[in-house]
Amino acid sequence: MFKNGSMWKPPPRHSKSDLKIMKQALESSVAAAAEPAQKRGQLSNQQRDKLEDMLRGLTVEKECIGSCMHWCLQHADAAEEIVECIGESLSILQTPPTVKVRWAAELLYNLLVSLSLHVTTNS
């Protein structure tokens, strides 16, 4: 434009994979906007179904319980509803007693560890 000025370079072209990623991101944001607004502190129907499926499929293996606990922590803003689902799961007769005991033990262990960390950091 100007004598001895900088040259304009067009932006680099996007590869097909970049365009595919951008298209997926756009579609997911459009889909999220189209969903009915979810109240804070509540699970969506899809999230509640996933939690119930995870609880039905629980085994006594630490990894299985750990992944379920991790999911619960990720959705901690709906803690009341999560606790309600866990309570229902523990109260039905079809849930094996070994799973109930292991789940309760893991919950208590994690609670005690977090309380001890809280006490030591605040002392």
How far apart are alpha carbons 99 and 95 in whole angstroms? Answer: 7
How far apart are alpha carbons 90 and 101 in whole angstroms? Answer: 9
Concatenated DSSP letters for 60-105?
Answer: S-HHHHHHHHHHHHHTGGGHHHHHHHHHHHHHSTTS-HHHHHHHHH
Of 61, 94, 87, 93, nearest to 72 by C-alpha is: 87
Looking at every residue in the chain, the average pLDDT score rounds to: 78
pLDDT tens-digit series, residues 20-68:
777 777 777 666 665 555 566 789 999 999 999 988 888 888 788 888 8
